[in-house]
Structure 1
Amino acid sequence: MARSLIIDCDPGVDDAIAILLTLAVPDRLNLLGITTVAGNVPLDLTQSNARKICELAGRTEVKVYAGCPRPLLRSLHTAADVHGATGLQGAALPEPTMPLQPQHGVDFLVEQLMQAEQPITLAVLGPMTNIAIALIKHPEIIQNIAEIVIMGGAVTQGNVTSSAEFNLYVDPHAAQVVFDAGAPITLIPLDTTHQLLTTPARLETIRQIGTPVAQAAAGMLAFYGMPDSQRYGLPGAPLHDPCVIVYLLEPNLFTTQAVHVAVETQGTHTLGRTVVDLWNVSGQSPNLQITRSLDAESVYALIIDGLAKL
């Protein structure tokens, strides 16, 4: 049976690639809907971008819901320098014609989880505001969550500050709510996603597919992540969010470790940092598992194969 899935995201180029990969494997992932949140760009763009990507893939039946327009306690910090002003820099996609659903994204999450006959997996690709509010409003939904797989955090260095990864920095308070909820969680941090690079050779392989989807993906990926590539001296841009979807499809391509993770919500210099207790020096029981490594060649091959199916 296909795994029932809801994607919560803030598209964003890497979110877009993750959505496309999901849409390429309906026999493996039964996408119940997409909820969007403010993050990489503001909410009016993230909800529009999600619909643009669904239309690009010819999947106009997918329902997209707008969620929270700002973090729980902080003002919004975006990443337009990485994703471009529209969030999908590098692809000239038309304005979407498929409708935005009138229901609020948080209410959709709650409704689906309350009514689910089988547990639902949540793929969380942006700040965790929507997920946190759903858990606060109706903590009983946790019994119908199969797993929450999250791209976020870092064991070592951040990417928006020296301590914090972007998604956690944008809404650290929401992340702490989610981490403390008691759901099964897999966290895919920067230390893992920085092992998955869009090298020139991989980008050319995507271009050679030749379809409109692949051409749009190649255009976005050519622009996306250049600041990170230059900053870290890498031979290509790290590709973050698709790791979540690949993990759901082929978890054996990743190594994992059960750990306790806390989120710094007050630090002047460390706000949004994930405090990862690798060696259990705190004595606290693990509250999630993190990925430590991935098989980059196999992961990227799966992404390319998915793009070729659309």
Structure 2
Amino acid sequence: MVNNIWIDCDPGHDDALAILVALAHPQQLKVLGISTVGGNESLLKVTRNARNILELLNADVPLIAGAKGPLIKPLKSAPEAHGESGMDGIDFPAPLYPILHVNLIEYWYHLLMDSDETITFVGIGPLTNLALLLQTYPDVKSKIEMICLMGGGISHGNITPASEFNIYVDPEAAKIVFNSGVPVVMAGLDVTEKSYLTREEIDSLKSRGGISQKVYGLLDFYNQSGRQFGFENSPLHDLCTIVYLLDSNVFEGKNYSVEVVTDEGVTRGMTLADLRKKPKIQNNILVLLDSKRDRYVSYLMDSLAYFDYKLAD
């Protein structure tokens, strides 16, 4: 069975790899489109990065730019993690990949309501676009199979001790998504930091095909950048969402009621799981907690081999 998905992202090195692996599995995932949201960098930069990766992969899916920033506060991007471009590591030519100039929320609404099948949304940036959809058109909820997102963390944060970046950027949007009643799978830091490439695995890409060598350039920068945060290996955070949709058995998780903290202060953006036996809030989020790393890595390596062969000169 083919799963219809839409990827909402802010590329980002790990966003790029999530897109790559999704497009490498057309028998399992039908990518209906890609949208962008201000997050890792400005909307202009992340949209350009999405154009670059889609052009590199010779893709043919709609690309639409969404919200420039969070629902309430100004955007705080993270150039220290992904570089000035938001996806440093290789030089791309000026992108020619087309952008569909439409209102994203209205486009989503008609896509959902006109579809005979449900659609899964993959949220791998701040959740602003998805919150706007759910606020503006709550009647679409029955048409959404699930929202599989990268964000949060039960045990710790990364942008602050309590908060993970994607949620911290727009916790008001995350709160809307988590409390929407739509099934949510949360790939937070608890699992994404266990889903990494080693330096040796990154270096192995240099001896493979053309796409692998391009990805090596991206991951070489990403690995070196990650060392400033204490990571010798490179967690591929956003890729967890796509691998989960391809093979949920790669992961282990538990259902928790999760509250997103929107208050000002040190806990803003925290995803707080209610570990009591009878939680008061029943939003029942599937929180991924562990992964089988070897199988996880094999999905990326196999996907790179797919594009190395498909796009060989």
Q: Give the TM-score normalised by structure 1.
A: 0.95
Alignment match, 2:97: 98
Unaligned segments of structure 1, at least 5 residues: none
**DSSP-derived class of the 1:49 partner:** helix
Q: Which residue identity lines up with residue 217 of structure 2 in the other structure?
A: G
**Code of the aligned partner of 1:58:** N
The structural deviation recorded for 1:288 is 1.2
In structure 2, the CA distance between the partners of 1:67 and 1:142, relative to structure 1 (3 Å rule), is same
- Rounded Cα–Cα distance in structure 1 between residues aligned with 2:258 and 2:286: 9
1:12 aligns with 2:9: no
Write out aligned runs for 1:91-130 (5 A): 91-130=90-129
Q: Tell me, in whole angstroms, the C-alpha distance in 2 between the residues paired with 1:259 and 1:225.
A: 32
Write the distance in 2 (CA, Å) between the matches of 1:11 and 1:78: 12
Q: For 1:33, give the aligned amino acid.
A: G
SS in 2 for 1:4: strand
Aligned AA for 1:221? Answer: L
Of residues 212, 215, 220, the one that matches 1:214 is 212
1:144 corresponding residue in structure 2? 143
Query: 1:275 matched to which residue of 2?
Result: 272
Contact 1:180 1:287 in 2 (8 A): no
CA drift of 1:227 comes to: 4.6
Does 2:189 align with 1:184? no
Name the stretch that deviates more: 189-198 or 164-173: 189-198
CA deviation vs aligned residue, 1:173-193 (integer Å, no higher than 9, x gap): 000000111001100010100
Cα deviations by residue, 1:71-108 (Å, 9 ceiling, x for unpaired): 00011010111111111100211121121101122222
Is 1:284 the equivalent of 2:281? Answer: yes
Q: Which residue of 2 aligns with 1:160?
A: 159
Give the AA of the match of 1:256. Answer: G
CA contact (8 A) 1:168 1:272 kept: yes
Please name the residue that 1:68 is paired with.
67
CA distance in 1, matches of 2:14, 2:28: 20
Deviation at 1:21, TM superposition (A): 0.7
Post-superposition offset of 1:284: 3.1
Matched with 1:303 is 300
Q: What secondary structure is seen at the aligned counterpart in 2 of 1:309? A: helix
Q: Which residue of 2 aligns with 1:28?
A: 28
Q: Give the number of equivalent residue pairs.
A: 307
TM-score normalised by length of structure 2: 0.95
**Identical aligned residues as a percent:** 36
Partner SS state of residue 98, structure 2 = coil
SS at match of 1:161: coil
User: How much has 1:286 moved relative to structure 2?
Assistant: 4.2
Q: Give distance in 2, aligned partners of 1:228 and 1:163.
A: 19
Amino acid aligned to 2:213: Q
Distance 2:245 2:199 in 1: 26
C-alpha contact 1:55 1:96 (8 A) present in aligned 2: yes
CA displacement at 1:235 relative to structure 2: 3.1
Distance 1:90 1:281 in 2: 48
* Residues 199 and 223 in structure 2, CA contact (< 8 A), matched pair in contact too: no
- 1:188-267 mapped onto 2 (5 Å cutoff): 188-211=187-210, 213-232=211-230, 234-267=231-264
Cα distance, 1:309 vs structure 2: 0.6
Counterpart code for 1:243: C
1:82 aligns with 2:81: yes
The one-letter code sitting in structure 2 at the alignment partner of 1:57 is L
How far is the alpha carbon of 1:225 from its aligned partner? 4.8
